């Protein structure tokens, strides 16, 4: 049984909106399929569609409550975790919370601490659009972080909320790089050199993440993996090899984006198929690199940066 950590999925939002359950559903991730692995850690993001933006803070809280209810309902299988010690001491599925998009804090910086108190440990600054913090890559904006965003980042650094740059535009990325006092990460982004999509990271950005002692999660969305219409495991390996050779295999993790993507690579239709990918990674790269990518790199980052 493989152990693994996945840095990003949208299963909370998907199950909440479709009135489905964590234990078993027809989405990409559920407890039944996660149970085939050895104490996996899944980071569950709360993502909001535009229709929720006018009441983003309240809707995010409702989704956190829904997450808590589902975890408690299935507590023989899954446990909410907030830090490395929680993960290390647990033999169940580990569920950690993240937020995808600064819309959730609205215009109140105190809401960052509020969500931290609720167990959120990773915060993706933007989704596709402009918000109070800055600009998503989708906007194609050349503007950087806003004054509110700079204040938000200072607070996140002070309380040890891990900052995620996936979706953030390039100008905002470099503003963060200049001011960040703590490591930042990209939970679900790939190499722009391999696939020149605006959501992927350029070489200098990847090097900056290494320099700040962050990590990068490989995204499974075919449009971020290849310029062709169909993605395969070979396309995933291209990103792993390129990023590994550029910044080291000790900086690569998984960030599948399950339940947030409409399509997946061939033979990776849901989380249960990770096992097939892991088999091939081990055959190609060896057990040491497999274990780094699947869980050790995140464990090392978590032990240093997510302590309570």
Q: Give the domain ranges of the chain.
A: 5-305
The stretches of the chain forming alpha helices (DSSP H) are: 11-18, 31-34, 56-73, 84-88, 110-117, 147-159, 170-179, 203-211, 222-225, 233-247, 274-285, 287-291, 297-305
3-state secondary structure of 258: strand
Q: Which pLDDT value is given to residue 229? A: 82
Output the 3-class SS for 93-139. EEEEEEEECHHHHCCCCHHHHHHHHCCEEEEECCCCCECCCCEEHHH
Q: Specify the length of the chain in residues.
A: 308
CA distances from 192 to 77, 133, 148, 170, 261 (A): 38, 24, 29, 12, 19
3-state secondary structure of 69: helix
Closest CA to 246 of 278, 219, 207, 283: 207
3-state secondary structure of 204: helix
Q: In angstroms, rounded to a whole number, what is the distance separating the alpha carbons of residues 83 and 64?
A: 17
Which letter does DSSP use for residue 219 in this model? Answer: P
Residue the block writes with tokens 């169940």: 92
3-state secondary structure of 67: helix
Closest CA to 220 of 190, 252, 248, 184: 190
Residue 179, token pair as written in the block: 């001011």
Residue 242 CA, distance from chain mean position: 20
Q: Which pLDDT value is given to residue 287? A: 98
Q: In angstroms, rounded to a whole number, what is the distance separating the alpha carbons of residues 294 and 222?
A: 20
Q: Which pLDDT value is given to residue 33? A: 98
DSSP notation for 149-166: HHHHHHHHHHHTPEEE-T
Residue 174, token pair as written in the block: 């470099």
Residue 258 CA, distance from chain mean position: 10
The answer to whether the CB of 115 falls within 8 A of the CB of 104 is yes
Q: Residues near 137 by Cβ (< 8 Å), separated by ≥ 6? A: 126, 128, 167, 168, 169, 170, 198, 199
Residue 86, token pair as written in the block: 């929680």
Angle between helices 274-285 and 233-247 (to 10 degrees): 50
Which letter does DSSP use for residue 292 in this model? Answer: I
Per-residue confidence in pLDDT tens, the chain, 308 aa: 899 999 999 999 999 999 999 999 999 999 999 999 999 999 999 999 999 999 999 999 999 999 999 999 999 999 999 999 999 999 999 999 999 999 999 999 999 999 999 999 999 999 999 999 999 999 999 999 999 999 999 999 999 999 999 999 999 999 999 999 999 999 999 999 999 999 999 999 999 999 999 999 999 999 999 999 899 999 999 999 999 999 999 999 999 999 999 999 999 999 999 999 999 999 999 999 999 999 999 999 999 999 99
Signed CA dihedral, 294, 295, 296, 301: sign only: positive
Q: Which pLDDT value is given to residue 1? A: 86
Q: In angstroms, rounded to a whole number, what is the distance separating the alpha carbons of residues 110 and 52?
A: 20
Q: Which pLDDT value is given to residue 270? A: 98
Residue 276, token pair as written in the block: 């097939």
The CATH architecture that domain 5-305 belongs to is: Alpha-Beta Barrel (3.20)
């Amino acid at each position: 049984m493989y152990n693994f950590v996945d840095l990003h999925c949208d299963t909370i939002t998907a199950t909440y909106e479709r009135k489905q359950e964590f234990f078993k559903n027809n989405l990409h991730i559920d407890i039944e399929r996660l149970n085939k692995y050895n104490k996996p850690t899944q980071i569950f993001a709360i993502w909001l569609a535009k229709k929720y933006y006018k009441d983003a803070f309240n809707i995010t809280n409702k989704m956190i409550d829904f997450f808590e209810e589902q975890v408690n309902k299935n507590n023989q299988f899954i446990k909410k975790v907030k830090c490395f010690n929680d993960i290390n001491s647990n033999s169940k599925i580990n569920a950690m919370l993240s937020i995808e998009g600064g819309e959730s804090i609205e215009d109140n910086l105190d809401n960052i601490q509020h969500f931290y108190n609720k167990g959120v440990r990773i915060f993706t600054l933007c989704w596709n659009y402009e918000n109070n913090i800055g600009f998503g890559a989708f906007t194609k904006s050349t503007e950087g972080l806003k004054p509110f965003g700079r204040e938000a980042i200072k607070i996140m650094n002070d309380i040890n909320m891990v900052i995620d740059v996936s979706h953030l535009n390039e100008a905002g990325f470099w503003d963060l790089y200049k001011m960040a006092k703590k490591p930042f990460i990209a939970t679900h982004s790939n190499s722009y050199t391999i696939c020149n999509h605006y959501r992927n990271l350029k070489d200098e950005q990847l090097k900056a993440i290494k320099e700040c002692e962050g990590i990068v999660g490989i995204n499974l969305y075919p449009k971020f993996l290849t310029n062709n219409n169909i993605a395969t495991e070979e396309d995933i390996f291209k990103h792993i090899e390129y990023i590994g050779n550029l910044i080291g295999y000790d900086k690569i993790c998984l960030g599948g984006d399950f339940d947030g993507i409409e399509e997946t690579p061939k033979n990776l239709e849901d989380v249960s198929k990770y096992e097939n990918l892991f088999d091939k990674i081990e055959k190609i790269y060896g057990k040491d690199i497999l274990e780094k990518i699947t869980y050790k790199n995140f464990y090392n980052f978590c032990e240093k940066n997510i302590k309570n």
